[in-house]
Amino acid sequence: MIPTEFDYKRASSLDEAVSMLVASGGEGKFIAGGHSLVPLMKLRLSEPSLLIDIARIPDLAGIREKDGKIEVGAATTHHAVETSDLLRRLAPVVAEAAGEIGDPQVRHRGTLGGSLAHADPAADMTAVMVALDAEIHLKGPGGWRAVRAADFFQGIFTVDMAEDEIIAGVQFAPVQAAAYAKLHQKASHYPIVGVCAVLQASGGTVQSARVAVTGASTHAQRLPEVEAALAGKALNQATIDAAAAVAGSGLEDINSDIHASAAYRRAMVKVFTRRALERAAARA
Amino acid sequence: MSTRVPVTITVNGKVRTAEVEPRLLLVHFLRENLGLTGTHVGCDTSQCGACTIMVDGQSAKSCTIFAVQADGCNLQTIEGLAPEGGLHAMQEGFWEEHGLQCGYCTPGMIMSGVDLLNENPNPSEAEIRKGIDGNFCRCTGYQHIVKAIQYAAKKG
Ligand SMILES: Cc1cc2nc3c(=O)[nH]c(=O)nc-3n(C[C@H](O)[C@H](O)[C@H](O)COP(=O)(O)OP(=O)(O)OC[C@H]3O[C@@H](n4cnc5c(N)ncnc54)[C@H](O)[C@@H]3O)c2cc1C
Ligand code: FES
Ligand code: FES
């Protein structure tokens, strides 16, 4: 399968990438890992006339600690996230979830920023960023903007990002009591459903929780019914079971496809919410 | 017509230069421009891993990369694996343990096996199966492929 013709440029800085995109007058597209875009271009579902390669921009690289927060550059590959010592130490859930994406070849090429920008209804890192309450940092011709992950994902392949903006990176607080649980689609390894749970607990009581789901509906989103069922309760199996039992009750537009019916996904949202909460609780 | 782009790509230790159309896939660059037909196209949809090669030491599906993206990179294909006159331990493993039947998936499977052992020289069976998640085999049922990788791991 051969894509339609296009021109190719490699950007060497964030500003150059944005000005190349602006100059293309809506015809250009960024390419990072290419592991969502290239398949679409081969099917001619996407036909940009210019590709701007952002994979090697130094400003988009790296995982670092800054002012007590963790920053991950948009062009960081899933594999670099999975194997990062810093993340394994300060936010293990992020490294673990990245290690569940696709297969080794996909993780070597695909990037965090590409995954968030593409916003596949079944992307893994979208739910993780929502549950971590991460900030997504965007740069456009007008300057910088930060958007909370929960506001960034708006619908199927739809995010709060203008045509001429680029994701530079994400920022989130270190976290231990968190876990991601995923039902793999056996061939592609995309999640049929994936749930990320983050707990704030002290003295055996849940202070608050953030729980987000992906794969189930149009986009990654929080499960407020689960969070409400946890807040202020004793952190034990009964609380987890009760919270998991209501998981997904507020979800609309449940996906249904050849891999799983809507009814099956609804059932699995409960199961994987329970598993994510159990694993997060074991770390609280 | 799109503008051709000059690329310099090291393949199996040899520096190759070419002017390519940006839409040329890396796997076609290898097979058609360089005649390295050991790398196969199975699905052409990023699923099967028959096109797996090493890009800067990491396994990648060459049907999902444009050749222009590999400009300046160091590639290894199945043709570059064996030492002069011999077999790489992974190739020997596939030979000794009957890790192939039709052989279509084999070049990609071998590259994934090599990538796995580079990162994890002593993988468990579960780790081996996770390491070849990105490679489909329609013949063997995987059992002998797992044994082949275990053979190579044991040989070190
Ligand atoms: C076989 C296979 C299995 C997969 N399995 C999974 C899975 O289990 N879970 C999962 O989550 N994903 C999975 N993926 C998708 C993979 O994670 C992709 O890498 C990811 O969705 C996109 O990242 P990329 O860097 O490849 O983006 P690209 O394909 O390069 O780009 C995707 C889109 O994002 C835009 N973009 C990229 N970077 C930026 C940026 N910094 N700022 C603004 N826009 C940007 C591009 O213009 C394009 O529109 C799979 C892919 C394949 C091929
Ligand atoms: S041919 Fe590349 S993954 Fe199948
Ligand atoms: S040996 Fe035939 S596909 Fe694997």
- Indicate whether B152 pLDDT > 90: yes
First to last CA, chain B: 50
Which one of B57, B80, B103 terminates a domain? B80
The whole-number pLDDT of residue A99 equals 98
For residue B3, give the nearest of A7, A34, A104 by CB distance. Answer: A7
* Residue ID of nearest Cα to ligand 3 atom 4: B137
Q: Are strands A28-31 and B5-11 parallel, antiparallel or unpaired?
A: unpaired
Size of chain A in residues: 284
Q: Could you state, in chain order, the average pLDDT of each consecutive group of 10 residues for chain A (284 residues)?
A: 96 97 95 98 97 97 96 98 98 98 98 98 98 98 97 97 96 98 93 98 96 98 98 98 97 95 98 98 96
Domains parsed from chain A with CATH numbers: 7-53 (3.30.43.10), 63-172 (3.30.465.10), 178-283 (3.30.390.50)
Distance (angstroms) between ligand 2 centre and the Cα of A10 equals: 25
ipTM score of complex: 0.97
Residue B10 sits at φ, ψ, to 5 deg, of -90, 120
- For an interface test with A, the pick among B66, B73, B76, B136 (most A C-beta atoms closer than 10 Å) comes out as B66
How many domains are contained in chain B? 2
pLDDT at B107 over 80: yes
How far is residue A24 CA from its own chain's centroid? 28
Order of strands across the sheet with A166-172? A63-66, A69-73, A166-172, A135-140, A143-148
Atom of ligand 2 nearest to the CA of B47: 3
Q: What pTM was computed for the model? A: 0.97
- Which chain B residues are within 8 Å of A53, Cβ to Cβ? 68-69
Name B15's Cβ contacts closer than 8 Å, sequence gap at least 6.
B8, B9
Q: How many angstroms away from the CA of A252 is the closest CA of chain B? A: 30
CA separation for the pair B115, B44 (Å, rounded): 21
Q: Residue A178, SS3?
A: strand
User: B69 to chain A: which residues are within 8 Å by CB?
Assistant: 31, 34, 53, 55
- Statement to judge: residues B108 and B65 lie in one domain: no
**Cβ–Cβ pairs < 8 A, chains A and B:** 81
Helices and strands (H and E) in chain A: how many: 12, 14
The per-residue pLDDT for B139 is 97
B70 lies in the same domain as B114: no
- pLDDT-derived band at B1, boundaries 50, 70, 90: low
**Cβ pair B47:A8 closer than 8 A:** no
Here the CATH number for the domain that contains residue B30 is: 3.10.20.30
Which of A6, A9, A30, A36 is the pocket-test mutation for ligand 1 (most atoms within 8 Å of CB)? A36
pLDDT of residue A210: 98
Contacts of B22 in chain A (CB under 8 A): 5-8, 51
B103 lines ligand 3 (CB under 6 A): yes
- Closest ligand relative to A103 C-alpha: 1
B15 and B72 in a common domain: yes
Residues of chain B neighbouring A8 (CB-CB closer than 8 A): 2, 5, 22, 66, 68
Q: Which residues of B133-143 are buried (b: 16+ CB within 10 A; e: fewer)?
A: bbbbbeebebe
Q: What is the tens place of the pLDDT at every residue in B12-47?
A: 999 999 999 999 999 999 999 999 999 999 999 999
Q: Is B114 in the same domain as B150?
A: yes
E strand or H helix that includes residue B93: helix B89-96
Selection from B113, B73, B78 nearest residue A104 by Cα: B113
CATH number for the domain that contains residue B103: 1.10.150.120
Alpha-carbon gap, residue A22 to A37, rounded angstroms: 19
Same domain for B137 and B95, yes or no, is: yes
Q: How far is Cα A68 from Cα A91, in angstroms, rounded to an integer?
A: 12
Ligand 1 centroid from CA A273, angstroms: 25
Question: Residue B26 in contact with residue B66, Cβ under 8 Å?
Answer: yes
Range of the domain at B55: 5-80
Could you give the residue ranges of the DSSP H alpha helices within chain A? Answer: 14-23, 37-42, 78-82, 85-90, 92-98, 104-109, 112-118, 124-131, 149-152, 224-230, 237-245, 262-282
CB contact under 8 A, A108 and B46: no
Across the interface, whether the CB atoms of A103 and B133 are under 8 A apart is answered yes
